[in-house]
Chain A
Amino acid sequence: MSLAKPLAFLAVGLSLSLGSGEVAADVVAVVSAQSTVTTLSREQIVNIFLGKTSVSPSGEALVPIDQAEGSPLRDEFYARYAGKSAAQMKAYWSKIIFTGRGSPPTAVPDSVAVKKKIVENPHAIGYIDQSLVDDSVRVLPSP
């Protein structure tokens, strides 16, 4: 009895922590429902967020919208899409900034703010919590 409760907590905690790492559906890359972009590969999405390109393969301009540094969804997005940790992303942008080659994407506080940006600008591309997907955005296939 006295042991069952903590063990149950541990089990729930373990399943939660494992779950957040494995369930592939938490973060999704999205464009505006008005966008002519219907599909992008994982590498194409990463290249846009890393500033390596600013257009889709078919030539549509795309403006990446980031989430604030330190937000868990941001870290998950870069871990899953780019295979990079928060520190690796920081190192990447340090290299770009301090050689005058560019600046990181505009960052907004959360998924709701990303959706707002996407509604304002049909060229915007972002990533949001999957539970916030509605008909204003188009989900790009996840990796």
Chain B
Amino acid sequence: MSIARSQCRPYKLVVALLALFGMTSVVRAQDSGAPTYSFSGFGTLGLVHSSEKQADYTNSPWYKPKGAGYSNDWSPDVDSRLGLQLDAKFSPEWSAVVQVISQLRYDNTYLPTVEWANVKYAMTPDASVRLGRSVMSTFLYSDYRNVGYAVPWVRPPLSVYNLMPVNYNDGIDASYRFHLGGATHTVQGFYGGGNQKSPPDGASNPDTDSWGIFNTFESGPTTLRLAYQKSTLTLNDSINGFFDQFRQFGPAGVALADKYDANKKPTVFWGVSASYDPGPWFLTGEWGHSDLTPSFMGKQIAWYVSGGVRMGNVTPYAVYANSRMLSNTSDPGLDLTTVPTYLQGYAAGLNAGLNAFLSPTTGTTISLGGRWDVKRNMALKLQYDHMELDPNSYGLLINRQPGYQPGGQVDLINAVLDFVF
């Protein structure tokens, strides 16, 4: 019943968008001929230093195996990457794009992965449908977060951008744009699924029946955005295998496993973004609410505000980011008094594991940095981050060692060279 309903909605959306396309009649500029191909690329060379030596900082806590702090004093693996893209335009209506990115991935290699691969049909310059792989524009910078040159900071604020652990979508995505005076309004919707691979063995983390709608309003220097996204997420067997162990402990154990595992669990995301960029300065803020209950990932909100001043080729900026857990960050777990004596040690271990999963990742991050546009296609950024973690929070750090103490402060020094070609 609930599955039928969640499958039905996106089709309605697609039908509605197609109906919109049908109603549009815009004169198309004549511009035809042989297919044209273009090749472009982007990259970042980065180094990150962390004050926390008992854990690693990474820009991708779900999908990267290491980072700065424990693994490396100065880590190139947080931000360094190279992206290559081939665009093909067959006609004013038909085009295709393939983008591959080489960056540290789950298996500790830099083997390239396909980030975008889709065929686009543009009924009009304002209405198009894409079939294949595309990256979801969950937040303002999500779908080009890897193109450091186009992002104001070293990277988008992690506590906010990590609210949704799903990056790309294999399926259909449609976009319709209309104009109100000088303002542009773009409605984008997608439907599909994906399968992100996590360290160390490339375990599958599939999401299915994923759909979302993004509404962007642009007028002069102002951009306003609303996002809604929903999907059904299953994390890999090593995580769900842990929770399955609770099922041996009768109804109470089954209830705990059902409440906290990540097996076909709904994820719901809401986001609001606003940006004002008149040129000499900019102000940007985003707010997101993710509900990944019932699962250990819980429910949280995160937001940031950032501003910068462009002084010739140099742009100093500041970011304030905050995240907060709305769901419980601990659980008494199994009642050990109801567990047979010979299993009490095992059950206590499971309870400890459960509470480790429930530990918050939240806190406040203040960043100060500067961008220097060295050349037309190259920018150097230096950024200092100060994280104040909430009590018991591990702040999205990975590879936490036995000596790691949660809930403290972490300082980062980041240097990146971003380029496009």
Contacts and interface: CB of A to CB of B under 8 A. Distances in A.
Interface of A: 41, 43-44, 47, 52-55, 57, 59-63, 69-70, 82-88, 90-92, 94-95, 97-100, 103, 123
Given A97-B40, A98-B85, A100-B116, A88 B130 contact: no
Contact of A98 (B42, B118, B221, B376): B42
B193 to A, nearest CB: 19
Given A60-B27, A63-B31, A87 B184 contact: no
Nearest to B279: A83
A9 B319 CA distance: 45
B184 A91 contact: no
Contacts of B218: 52
Interface of B: 26-31, 38, 40, 42, 83, 85, 87, 89, 97, 99, 116, 118, 120, 125-126, 130, 134-135, 137, 143-144, 146-147, 149-150, 177, 179, 181-182, 184, 218, 220-221, 278-280, 310, 313, 373, 376-377, 379, 420
Contacts of B116: 99-100
Given A53-B179, A59-B26, A100 B130 contact: yes
Contact of A90 (B26, B28, B377): B377
5 contacts: A61-B28, A83-B280, A91-B150, A94-B149, A98-B144
* Prevailing SS type, chain B contact patch: mixed
B147 A41 contact: no
Contacts of B31: 63
B376 A69 contact: yes
B376 A47 contact: no
B149 A100 contact: no
Contacts of B182: 41, 43-44, 47
Closest 7 CB pairs between A and B? A83-B279, A87-B373, A43-B182, A100-B97, A54-B125, A94-B150, A61-B29
A134 B397 CA distance: 64
A5 B150 CA distance: 46
A100 B134 contact: yes
Contacts of A53: 125-126, 177, 179, 184
The residue in A41, A57, A91, A103 that gathers the most chain B C-beta atoms within 10 A of its C-beta is A91
A44 B183 CA distance: 9
Contacts of A83: 221, 278-280
A140 to B, nearest CB: 15
Contacts of B310: 85, 88
Contacts of A43: 182, 220
A55 B147 CA distance: 30
B351 to A, nearest CB: 45
* Prevailing SS type, chain A contact patch: loop
B118 A100 contact: yes
A74 to B, nearest CB: 11
Nearest to B143: A99
Nearest to A69: B376
Contact of B120 (A85, A88, A94, A100): A100
A50 B336 CA distance: 65
A51 to B, nearest CB: 9
B27 A87 contact: no
Contact of B147 (A47, A60, A84, A94): A94
A61 B85 CA distance: 29
Contacts of B181: 57
The residue in A62, A69, A103 that gathers the most chain B C-beta atoms within 10 A of its C-beta is A103
A55 B27 contact: yes
Given A52-B218, A83-B278, A87-B376, A94 B26 contact: no
Contacts of B313: 87
The residue in A41, A61, A86, A99 that gathers the most chain B C-beta atoms within 10 A of its C-beta is A99
Contacts of B30: 123
Given A53-B179, A83-B279, A90-B420, A97 B85 contact: yes
A84 to B, nearest CB: 6
Nearest to B152: A91
Contacts of A55: 26-27, 125
Given A69-B376, A100-B118, A94 B42 contact: yes
A63 B29 CA distance: 7
The residue in A43, A69, A88, A97 that gathers the most chain B C-beta atoms within 10 A of its C-beta is A97
A124 B118 CA distance: 30
The residue in A59, A70, A94, A95 that gathers the most chain B C-beta atoms within 10 A of its C-beta is A94
A69 B375 CA distance: 12
B26 A88 contact: no
